[in-house]
């Protein structure tokens, strides 16, 4: 049984934080929870909301229909009335006043009322509040306690202890953890929603982590400084969204040509152009795969949830460093900013060590090798280290000789084939459930698709984990001659197009959503049930 609570009000009222605290309370009791944030591009006022769905069974997405509305702005409740279940409850800030309460008294009083509504043990709420507010929690605890002591309508769902405590994170945190565990040493960025979250978290923690995190004058500077740091021998990262990422195209190509590793965090938002800044989409799949002029190999992972985001980040750093090419983590607003319970964040890959200046005599930056990889060094030793955007010979000296051009091009492209071979040991796709008919997706529709699957008899789902190198053989082998559909957060079916290009297989139909909103399980069920 899934239960859903909508938290709504004006920007600046702490809606998101209150929803996350509620999620953490349910997670501490062993429930699975997912929190979707819906907010406009403004700082104060407006109408924002967060949707928290929790369940004993995995909750990897939020539901359309709510059982409770928590209205920090009483007017805001009206907008959600139509999505409230029959017999659903509405708790409004008007019912949550306490003499001498804290600044956000209503938020915590409402949390207390909500906990009472679901029969959540009081101490679970108090300890989550204590964790959240630390030394300043006394008043907030009193507020929660006050709310909990109120006589509120009770749900038939009694949320008592259901299992071991679970962790709650957003995708941003998973990417940050992945970058830190990979050994990132330098991060350069320029703020843009929704990519900013990762960089803001890295800024907040830099004193303890020792990572250089700098905001540059623009995305072009951020990407080129990242490549500069990479030349100096350290794992480095940049990233942006939509238009900001577009400004990094030339640098991506530079990374590919100069063979200086760089990790690009590509967090999609609704486009084109400025688009809808705080809303989600998967409209940049083909763009990220072709970002930058010329032909050069790259790596592109497309995580679907928190654990995927961590693993994709580890893999992006590892393969970028090993193969000396740009790597992209294709995320989106829905993964970046939604919170959910998750399992252990883990990867078998080692941490990357900064390069040293040690090299044998007659070192060549672009040595022609069978596997295409030319080992890098750091500058500062007895050997000269050259890196260049111009076509070059093995020493990195400029060339325009036709044979030399072809030879170096072949060498770079050989890296892609070597990479494909190594990646055969890493899953390119994940198969969920059993059925004759298949839903194929990549990235953030994962939660809604997997939560819908138990209601779709005869259907299974395949997640594509990587867009470059595309897991063509693996996918074709699994699909066989079974008809398949794609589920994508874009208007033109880019994933279906990529599948067809890589495998020759054509999707029967695509379920496309391109209104800036992520899929809910209801969307998936409604579309596929009748097919």
Longest alpha-carbon distance in the chain: 84
Nearer Cβ to another protein (136/207): 207
CB of 299 to another protein, least distance (A): 21
Please give the sequence-ordered ranges of beta strands (E in DSSP) within 110-249, or none if there are none: 167-170, 186-189, 212-215, 236-240
Q: How many whole angstroms separate alpha carbon 344 and alpha carbon 323?
A: 27
CB of 185 to another protein, least distance (A): 6
If you write DSSP's letter for every residue of 63-97 in order, what string do you get? -SSEEEEEESSTTHHHHHGGGEEEEEEEEEGGG--
Q: What is the 3-state secondary structure (H, E, C) of 331-362?
A: EEHHHHHCEEEECCCCCCCCCCCCCCCCCCCC
Q: How many whole angstroms separate alpha carbon 2 and alpha carbon 9?
A: 23
Question: 268: closest CA among 305, 306, 240, 290?
Answer: 240
Q: What is the DSSP letter of 265?
A: E
What values do phi and psi take at 267, rounded to 5?
-95, 105
Q: Which residues bind another protein (CB under 8 A)?
A: 185-186, 188, 206-212, 214, 216-218, 220-234, 236, 250-251, 254, 258, 357, 378-382, 384-390, 396-398
Nearer Cβ to another protein (116/201): 201
Nearer Cβ to another protein (251/270): 251
Q: How many whole angstroms separate alpha carbon 395 and alpha carbon 392?
A: 8
Please give the sequence-ordered ranges of beta strands (E in DSSP) within 93-246, or none if there are none: 167-170, 186-189, 212-215, 236-240
Nearer Cβ to another protein (145/214): 214
CB of 364 to another protein, least distance (A): 14
Nearer Cβ to another protein (127/205): 205
Nearer Cβ to another protein (78/378): 378
Q: How many whole angstroms separate alpha carbon 25 and alpha carbon 9?
A: 21
Nearer Cβ to another protein (222/312): 222
CB of 454 to another protein, least distance (A): 47
Q: Are strands 212-215 and 186-189 parallel, antiparallel or unpaired?
A: parallel
Question: 443: closest CA among 252, 267, 290?
Answer: 267
Nearer Cβ to another protein (384/413): 384
Nearer Cβ to another protein (138/384): 384
Please answer whether residues 62 and 50 qualify as being in contact, where contact means their C-beta atoms are separated by less than 8 angstroms: no
Please answer whether residues 374 and 411 qualify as being in contact, where contact means their C-beta atoms are separated by less than 8 angstroms: yes
Nearer Cβ to another protein (228/483): 228
CB of 486 to another protein, least distance (A): 37
Q: Are strands 262-268 and 326-332 parallel, antiparallel or unpaired?
A: parallel
Please answer whether residues 495 and 488 qualify as being in contact, where contact means their C-beta atoms are separated by less than 8 angstroms: yes
Q: How many whole angstroms separate alpha carbon 243 and alpha carbon 268?
A: 10
Nearer Cβ to another protein (252/281): 252
Cβ within 8 Å of residue 204, ≥6 positions away: none
Structure tokens at 488: 């994508």
If you write DSSP's letter for every residue of 448-461 in order, what string do you get? HHHHHGGGSTTEEE
Cβ within 8 Å of residue 478, ≥6 positions away: 429, 431, 462
């Amino acid at each position: 049984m899934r239960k859903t609570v909508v938290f709504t009000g004006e920007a600046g009222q702490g809606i998101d934080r209150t929803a996350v605290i509620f999620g953490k309370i349910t997670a501490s009791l062993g429930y699975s929870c997912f929190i979707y944030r819906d907010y406009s591009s403004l700082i104060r006022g407006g109408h924002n909301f967060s949707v928290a769905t929790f369940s004993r069974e995995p909750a990897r997405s939020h539901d359309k229909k709510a059982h409770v509305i928590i209205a920090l702005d009483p007017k805001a409740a009206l907008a959600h009335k139509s999505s409230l279940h029959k017999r659903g409850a509405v708790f409004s800030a008007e019912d949550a006043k306490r003499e001498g309460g804290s600044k956000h008294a209503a938020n915590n009083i409402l949390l207390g009322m909500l906990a009472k509504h679901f029969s959540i043990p009081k101490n679970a709420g108090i300890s989550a509040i204590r964790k959240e507010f630390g030394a300043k929690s006394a008043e907030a605890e009193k507020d929660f306690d006050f709310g909990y002591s109120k006589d509120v309508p009770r749900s038939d769902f009694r949320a008592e202890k259901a299992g071991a405590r679970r962790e709650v994170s957003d995708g941003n945190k998973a990417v940050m953890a992945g970058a830190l565990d990979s050994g990132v040493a330098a991060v350069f960025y320029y703020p843009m929603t929704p990519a900013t979250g990762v960089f803001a978290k890295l800024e907040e923690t830099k004193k303890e982590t020792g990572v250089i995190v700098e905001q540059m004058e623009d995305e072009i500077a951020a990407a080129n400084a990242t490549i500069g740091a990479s030349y100096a021998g350290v794992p480095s990262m940049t990233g942006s969204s939509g238009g900001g990422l577009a400004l990094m195209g030339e640098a991506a190509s530079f990374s590919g040509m100069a063979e200086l590793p760089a990790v690009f965090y590509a967090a999609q938002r609704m486009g084109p152009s400025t688009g809808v800044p705080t809303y989600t989409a998967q409209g940049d799949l083909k763009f990220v795969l072709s970002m930058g002029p010329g032909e050069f190999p790259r790596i592109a992972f497309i995580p679907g949830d928190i654990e995927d985001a961590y693993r994709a980040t580890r893999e992006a750093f590892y393969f970028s460093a090993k193969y000396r090419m740009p790597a992209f983590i294709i995320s989106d607003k829905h993964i970046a900013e939604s919170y959910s319970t998750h399992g252990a964040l883990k990867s078998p890959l080692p941490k990357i060590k900064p390069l040293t200046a040690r090299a044998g005599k007659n070192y060549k930056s672009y040595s022609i090798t069978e596997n295409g990889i030319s080992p890098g060094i750091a500058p500062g030793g007895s050997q000269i280290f050259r890196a260049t955007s111009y076509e070059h010979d093995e020493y990195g000296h400029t060339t325009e000789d036709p044979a030399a051009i072809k030879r170096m091009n072949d060498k770079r492209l050989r890296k892609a084939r070597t990479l494909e071979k190594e990646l055969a040991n890493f899953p390119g796709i994940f198969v969920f459930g059993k059925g004759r008919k298949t839903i194929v997706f990549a990235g953030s529709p994962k939660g809604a698709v997997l939560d819908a699957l138990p209601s779709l008899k005869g259907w299974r789902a395949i997640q594509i984990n990587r867009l470059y190198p595309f897991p063509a053989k693996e996918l074709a082998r699994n699909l066989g001659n079974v008809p398949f559909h794609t589920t994508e957060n874009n208007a033109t079916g880019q994933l279906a197009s990529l599948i067809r290009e890589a495998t020759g297989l054509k999707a029967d139909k695509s379920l496309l959503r391109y209104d800036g909103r992520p899929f809910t399980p209801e969307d998936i069920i409604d579309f596929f049930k009748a097919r």
